[in-house]
Amino acid sequence: MNFEMKLTPKIYVSAALVWCIQATPFQANAQQRIQPVQFSQVNITDAFWKPKQEKVATATLNACIIQTEEKSGRIRNFEKVARKQGEKHEGIYYDDSDVYKAIEAIAYSLKNRPDAALEKKADEWIDKIAAAQQPDGYLNTYYTLTDLKQRWTDMEKHEDYCAGHLMEAAVAYYNTTGKRKLLDVAIRFADHIDNTFRVANRPWVSGHQEIELALMKMYHLTKEDRYLKLADWFLDQRGHGYGKGKIWDEWKDPKYCQDDVPVKQQKEITGHAVRAMYQYTGAADVASVTQDPGYMNAMTAVWEDVVYRNMYLTGGIGSSGHNEGFTDDYDLPNGAAYSETCASVGMVFWNQRMNALTGDAKYIDVLERSLYNGALDGLSLNGDTFFYGNPLSSMGNNARSAWFGTACCPSNIARLVASVGDYIYGKSEGKIWVNLFVASNTSFQIGKTVVPLQVTTNYPWEGNVKIKVTPAQKAKYALNVRIPGWAANTPVPGELYNFASANNAKIEILLNGKPVEYKTEKGYAVIDRTWQNGDEVEVKLPMEVRQIKARKEVKADADRIALQRGPLVYCVEGADNAGEVWNLLVPENPSFNTKTSQILNEPVVAIQANLQIVKATPDGLNVKPEPQTVTAIPYYTWANRGRGPMQVWLPVKMKSIRIAE
């Protein structure tokens, strides 16, 4: 095909979440088709997210550059390949992917905050990447520097995983800059992979899924049908016994990479959490085009298995560090929680696609929980240190790191925060969708009328959200505003977690200052009317402090409660409570107050909880509880003031006593 004729730098398609969603058998009607509004079309003014995007654009990306270019051999590996002098590979076989994810994060950041020096650095890297590509399109520094004859022999070795991140970076960088050098590299590599496997009918199971969703981004940008076919082909390879390499031959564990059952027959979550999230995101992308209900049926069953039985209150997933993933249902330990940052990022990806396919707000409820808690916790308030795993309790032995040997998480959280605009709005025929409450502005095309829309809010600290539209002429459409599950007495779908008591506070929705009638459909308040310049909808969400209990099957949380306010999960940390959080008890009817506070440079709303502290009697022979005002802070802010103890789930009764030295 003549790609040059079909693609110009003026075309913008979101690199983070883009696909044309066609009518599918599992959709009730065409009105459910939702397309995300790309982050490039959203101007974020939010007091919560904009400073974080600034930190990513400066501190986080600077850390990524230093670690990638100076403190590790990631960039040097590309230079060595180009020199062709037989030099040794540095680092781990999947390190190329970190370079690509950093470029993707840079691309998003450049759209939000142009920076000539940062763009120049990315161009330098891209030149080195292009110089390392082989004549047949293959690109992987590990095999090129070790033994090119061994390429494509071990399905676990992340060759296609690295290729996928290259493709995502290429699409993102082209969309932001109009520069196609990296895109051309990605096209040659994708064509090499297609010719090597699908066209040649050579079985191949990806040991670490990622290429499927990346190929769909390539497909939507280039309109090249072979990339859609290749993504579908990769998914169809799973569950047929084709696996070769360490996972299959040494570990004997195809479940680890979701290869024990064909994708369309999968009903439960297994194995490595990040691999699973990328797989189901790719399956949703393919299903949106192929109209294959097999993918949707499988994803619905697996999603329920994740959310109903295997998800932390923070939206984190993957309880075990042993397999970086799932174990038994309801096995959700707190101190030993793995809950990898990348897995929470994957939950955001997957749930966004599920919402777009179904029009159901429950998926955005889960997305929001993962975004504000499980994922955001992976990034420090200063933006330059990170968590790989995100436990829900600590004895004081957890600290954020400047980098990791396996460094997927820093660049992953960087690209998510930089592209958060992708998750705020959606559009479908005759409908506007407001999914997240982030102060921002964008515009929608309704028929021949442009409808500028502005959201003003101090969410998540306050519950008031104003949505103002200013069309030049009247326009008829349905405004769909998500009513968060947590505001409607349902913290999560499926009752894995429930509020300890019902909240009688009402959700208010006003139009131009007066109550307005609306329908409720799949978790959205739908206001269908003819709109005119200056119309303003105000949503008032209750922001009480709520106590949460887990199902009795979750043994780790038995006789414990957690605190949530708005979308934020809270924890108690030693830094606010005289260094001690393991001697607390929650009385039967605790009272709560809130206060504005600050953790480092982060303004927060803290909770003042009237609890009990268990102390030894003066003679040292007994213990007794005493009233104590305890400070709780948003979970994402913990471990920013040094090491210290922390708990999310607080006991309501004593089960055992340990006498310390």
Mean per-residue pLDDT of the chain: 92
Residue 296 placed within a domain: no
pLDDT at 407: 63
* 587 shares its domain with 497: no
pLDDT for 5 equals 34
- Token pair 């459909």 is at which residue? 521
My answer on whether 482 and 589 are in the same domain is no
Are both 51 and 141 inside the same structural domain?
Answer: yes
From residue 175, alpha-carbon distances to 40, 178, 210, 288, 422 in Å are 9, 6, 20, 22, 14
Q: Quick check: 202 pLDDT over 90?
A: yes
Note every long-range contact of 397-402, with CB atoms under 8 Å and residues 24 or more positions apart, other chains counting.
397/643, 398/639, 398/643, 398/646, 399/639, 399/642, 399/643, 400/639, 400/640, 402/63, 402/67
Residue 600 lies in a domain: yes
Q: Is the pLDDT assigned to residue 81 strictly greater than 70?
A: yes
Task: Answer for the pair 536, 481: CB distance below 8 angstroms, yes or no.
Answer: no
Q: What pLDDT does residue 40 have?
A: 87
> Within a domain: residue 604?
yes
Residues 287, 357 contacting (CB under 8 angstroms): yes
Contacts of 659 (CB under 8 A, 6+ apart): none
Q: For residue 119, what pLDDT is reported? A: 97
Report the alpha-carbon distance of residue 186 to residue 205 in Å, rounded.
20
Cβ-based burial of 116 (10 A; exposed 0-12, middle 13-18, buried ≥19): exposed
Q: Token digits for 637?
A: 């802010």
Using a cut of 0.85, tell me whether the model's pTM lies above it.
Answer: yes
Shared domain check, 113 and 70: yes
% of the chain residues with pLDDT over 90: 86
The token pair at 384 is: 């330059």
Based on the fold, state whether residues 118 and 243 are members of the same structural domain: yes
Question: Would you say the C-alpha torsion 442, 445, 450, 453 has a positive or negative sign?
Answer: negative
- 153 close to 206: Cβ distance less than 8 angstroms: no
pLDDT at residue 190 tops 60: yes
Cα dihedral value 216, 222, 223, 224, nearest 10: -80
Query: Domain residues for 647?
Result: 559-651
pLDDT at 365: 98
The answer to whether residue 324 is domain-embedded is no
Task: Give CA 558 to chain center in angstroms.
Answer: 28
Q: What is the pLDDT of residues 152-171, one digit of tens each?
A: 999 999 999 999 999 999 99
Same domain? 84 vs 199: yes
Opening angle at CA 127, ends 125 and 132, nearest 5: 95
CB-CB neighbours of 629 under 10 Å: 12
Does residue 250 belong to any structural domain of this protein?
yes
85 assigned to some structural domain: yes
- The total of other beta-carbon atoms located within 10 Å of residue 589's CB is 7
The pLDDT, as a whole number, for residue 349 is 95
* Region label for 58, one of left (φ > 0), alpha (ψ between -120 and 50) or beta (otherwise): alpha
Same domain, 40 and 81: yes
Question: What per-residue confidence (pLDDT) applies to 403?
Answer: 65
**Does residue 563 share a domain with residue 533?**
no
DSSP-based helix, strand, coil % in the chain, nearest 5: 40, 20, 40
Domain assignment present for 17 = no
CA nearest to 374, candidates 157, 636, 610, 583: 636
624 and 534 in a common domain? no
Predicted confidence (pLDDT) per residue in 272-298, tens digit: 999 999 999 999 999 989 989 999 999
pLDDT at residue 2 is higher than 80: no
Last residue of a domain, one of 260, 280, 297: 260
* Structure confidence at residue 286 (pLDDT): 95
Q: Are residues 527 and 566 in the same domain?
A: no
- Asked whether residue 522 falls in the same domain as residue 642, the answer is no
Domain count for the chain:
3
Does residue 372 lie within any of the structural domains?
Answer: no
CA distance 637 to 615: 28
E strands present in 470-544: 475-482, 497-499, 508-511, 514-515, 519-521, 524-531, 536-540
Say whether both 172 and 51 belong to one domain: yes
Which of 207, 241, 260 is the last residue before a domain boundary? 260
Task: Check the CA dihedral 12-159-349-191 and report its sign.
Answer: positive
Of 494, 510, 540, the residue that ends a domain is 540
